[in-house]
């Protein structure tokens, strides 16, 4: 993998400002100009359509959804005026397939499957007549729209009352795509491009994004086959994330960038949904610098789309966006000059935020953060073998910490041959977090002198948040991995090490939940859940760890409390890997060398 410092030795001939520098996620449009953007995503395209010409009785005046559409139109007009004053080109985005439920019902079997009136039939020409009408209506009524952006790989119509949607690819994680998928995708691109570009002379941005390792976004084979049916490409731009799949580490640079003879923009996320969303320092400058350099050299790339904010579900919810702003600043500067040094950009931003005297120390702290995040959020032996989709099994996603057979089991199974490395990695994460804290604390006087005690205190608290979270994850992974090894071997020393780690996990988790949230300015806390449903606690981190503690042999004269009197009974029913949590299922085996190696890591 190329390292950021090697960029300085590369020729600068391709360095320069990207033609399109588009942003999204800001509530104040002036922020985009502050960062040098020349375009912005301003809202939803489909939620502006009234269908008044093609289906006048579906959303008549007075209808609640029609009232919402009319409100959306008024809001957009105001944003368009603001964007024009700022010199920003307007982009509107939409998922497809997406229709008001009233329109779907209005046309009933004329556009839906014969056996399912809730699903569109793309073989019926009446659907395409309505589809074209939607685009014509909105583009005619809003001549200020410069770009229309379409996503087909995910569809969250259920988030908007009154709308129904569906995917073109129904089995998005499948390793294959049907002939029907390619036929429908090609037609949708061609139909949309003909209206947006040929009729209304705007630009169409088509997001290749979908889920998994085998789709339009990640697979050159699928990408190439889609393009074989798209012969007219004038005004068409493909949008592709710089990572082969989603914004995880352990992803290759997307092989479809620069491919296929079609113009492209490349997507970057500044508030990483898999890495805390800015709850603590997580500087993406080094990673984005490496990717931007490759983007600049790729054939056909016209620009970048920077997600200033957005992506994921739930929290952490920020009280301060300080660390996200560091990422936005660096990524926006790299969009203008891909040869810039990430460390220099970190220091430039730190001068603005903390003052000139403190900037070198703050920059040093920021440069430590990517490695710290990598080590406490991923399990390296597993991730190396499973690059691409879900390299961390999403053990941490948004503001939840997960567990169970779909998360912890594959992480352990994929790491058990390199277990020492996996265990040591978690200790190194804590050491890096502590080093970050000490580095920032060493700038205390300079920061307070330049910006006051509140800025110093709030910023330090976010690093304390990070350090406490790293400790939780270290003891969680170390405890449960050693617990599972104890179950497989029956080795008493490993069982004792597992118990010690899980006791420390309990202390770390209690401290994080009870003390960190009291600190001034910190984000909302992580929760032990398997999804965003508050009741989805069974088998998540806390449930697993407490059950494991109940199952492990107690040390002599143990005073360790059992939190839940039912845990000992439940320990025989909870599963970690397909087998019951509880006593070892294998005959106890001698493994003194492993026990010694475990002790060396503690």
Quote the pLDDT of residue 215.
Answer: 94
**Nearest Cα to 488, choosing from 402, 601, 574, 594?**
594
Quote the pLDDT of residue 14.
Answer: 57
For 332-382, give the secondary structure using H, E and C: HHHHHCCCCCHHHHHHHHHHHHHCCCCHHHHHHHHHHHHHHHHHHHCCHHH
Quote the pLDDT of residue 99.
Answer: 96
- Spans of the chain, pLDDT less than 70: 1-14, 170-173, 556-602
Computed from CA positions of residues 381, 385, 388, 392, in that sequence, does the dihedral angle turn out positive or negative? negative
Bridge partners (DSSP) of residue 307 are: 24, 269
Q: Provide the 3-class DSSP secondary structure of residue 600.
A: helix
For 419-451, give the secondary structure using H, E and C: HHHHHHHHHHHHHHHHHHHHHHHCCHHHHHHHH
**Nearest Cα to 581, choosing from 591, 589, 570, 571?**
571
Q: Provide the 3-class DSSP secondary structure of residue 264.
A: strand
Rounded Cα gap, residues 353 and 455, in angstroms: 9
Rounded Cα gap, residues 425 and 430, in angstroms: 9
Question: Are 139 and 202 contacting, i.e. CB atoms less than 8 angstroms apart?
Answer: yes
User: Which residue is associated with the tokens 């099994």?
Assistant: 393
| 550-566 tens-digit pLDDT | 999 988 665 555 565 55
Rounded Cα gap, residues 58 and 52, in angstroms: 8
Q: Provide the 3-class DSSP secondary structure of residue 146.
A: strand
Question: Are 544 and 574 contacting, i.e. CB atoms less than 8 angstroms apart?
Answer: yes
Quote the pLDDT of residue 566.
Answer: 57
CB neighbour list of residue 146: distance below 8 Å, 6 or more residues apart: 39, 89, 90, 91, 202, 203
Domains and CATH numbers, the chain: 4-340 (3.20.20.80), 362-601 (no CATH)
Q: For 111-150, b where at least 16 C-beta lie within 10 A, e where not — what string?
A: bbeeeeeeebebebeebeebbbbbbbbbbeebeebbbbbb
Question: Are 375 and 403 contacting, i.e. CB atoms less than 8 angstroms apart?
Answer: no
User: Which residue is associated with the tokens 């040094």?
Assistant: 341
Rounded Cα gap, residues 576 and 571, in angstroms: 10
The tokens for 392 are: 């961390």
Rounded Cα gap, residues 517 and 522, in angstroms: 7
The tokens for 223 are: 């990408």
Quote the pLDDT of residue 563.
Answer: 62
Q: How far are the Cα atoms of 257, 437, 441, 517, 519 from residue 523, in angstroms, in the given order?
A: 35, 17, 20, 8, 9
């Amino acid at each position: 993998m190329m390292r950021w410092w090697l960029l300085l030795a590369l020729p600068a001939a391709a360095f320069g400002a990207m033609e399109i520098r588009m942003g999204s996620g800001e509530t104040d449009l002036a922020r985009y100009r502050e960062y040098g953007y020349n375009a912005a995503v301003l809202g939803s395209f489909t939620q502006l359509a009234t269908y008044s010409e093609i289906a006048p009785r579906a959303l008549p005046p007075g209808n609640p959804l029609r009232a919402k559409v009319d409100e959306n139109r008024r809001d957009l007009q105001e944003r368009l005026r603001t964007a024009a004053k700022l010199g920003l080109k307007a982009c509107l985005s939409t998922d497809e397939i997406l229709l008001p439920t009233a329109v779907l019902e209005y046309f009933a079997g004329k556009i839906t499957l014969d056996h399912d009136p809730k699903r569109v039939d793309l073989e019926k020409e009446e659907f395409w007549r309505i589809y074209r009408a939607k685009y014509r209506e909105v583009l005619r009524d809003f001549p200020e729209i410069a770009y229309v952006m379409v996503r087909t790989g995910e569809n969250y119509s259920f988030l908007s009352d009154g709308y129904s949607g569906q995917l073109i690819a129904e089995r998005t994680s499948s390793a294959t795509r049907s002939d029907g998928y390619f036929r429908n995708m090609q037609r949708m691109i061609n139909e949309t491009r003909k209206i947006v570009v040929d009729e209304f002379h705007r630009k169409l941005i088509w997001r290749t994004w979908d889920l998994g390792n085998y789709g339009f976004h990640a697979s050159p084979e699928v990408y190439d086959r889609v393009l074989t049916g798209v012969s007219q490409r004038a005004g068409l731009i493909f949008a592709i994330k710089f990572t082969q799949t989603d914004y995880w580490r352990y992803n290759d640079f997307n092989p479809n960038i620069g491919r296929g003879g079609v113009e492209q923009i490349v997507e970057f996320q500044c508030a990483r949904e898999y890495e805390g969303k800015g709850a603590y320092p997580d500087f993406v400058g080094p990673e984005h610098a490496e990717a931007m350099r490759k983007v600049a050299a790729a054939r056909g790339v016209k620009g970048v789309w920077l997600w200033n904010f957005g992506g994921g579900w739930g929290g952490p919810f920020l009280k301060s966006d300080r660390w996200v702003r560091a990422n936005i600043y660096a990524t926006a500067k790299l969009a203008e000059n891909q040869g810039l040094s990430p460390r220099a950009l970190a220091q430039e931003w730190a001068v603005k935020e903390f003052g000139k005297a403190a900037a070198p120390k703050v920059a040093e702290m920021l440069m430590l953060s990517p490695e710290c995040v990598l080590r406490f959020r991923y399990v390296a032996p597993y991730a190396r073998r499973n690059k691409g989709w879900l390299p961390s099994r999403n053990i941490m996603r948004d503001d939840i910490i997960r567990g169970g057979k779909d998360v912890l089991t594959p992480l352990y199974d994929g790491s058990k041959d390199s277990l020492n490395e996996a265990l040591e990695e978690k200790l190194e994460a804590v050491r890096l977090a502590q080093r970050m804290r000490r580095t920032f604390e060493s700038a205390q006087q300079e920061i307070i002198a330049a910006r006051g005690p509140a800025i110093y205190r709030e910023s330090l608290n976010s690093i304390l948040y990070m350090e406490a979270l790293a400790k939780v994850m270290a003891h969680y992974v170390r405890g449960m991995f050693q617990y599972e090894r104890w179950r497989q071997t029956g080795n008493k020393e490993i069982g004792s090490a597992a118990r010690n780690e899980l006791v420390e996990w309990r202390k770390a988790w209690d401290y994080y939940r009870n003390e960190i949230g009291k600190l001034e300015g910190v984000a909302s806390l992580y929760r032990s859940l398997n999804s965003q449903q508050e009741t989805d606690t069974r088998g998540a981190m806390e449930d697993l760890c407490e059950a494991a503690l109940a199952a492990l042999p107690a040390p002599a004269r143990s005073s360790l409390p059992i939190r839940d009197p039912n845990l000992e009974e439940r320990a025989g029913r909870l599963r970690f890997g397909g087998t019951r949590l509880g006593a070892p299922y294998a005959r106890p085996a001698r493994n003194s060398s492993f026990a010694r190696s475990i002790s060396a890591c503690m």
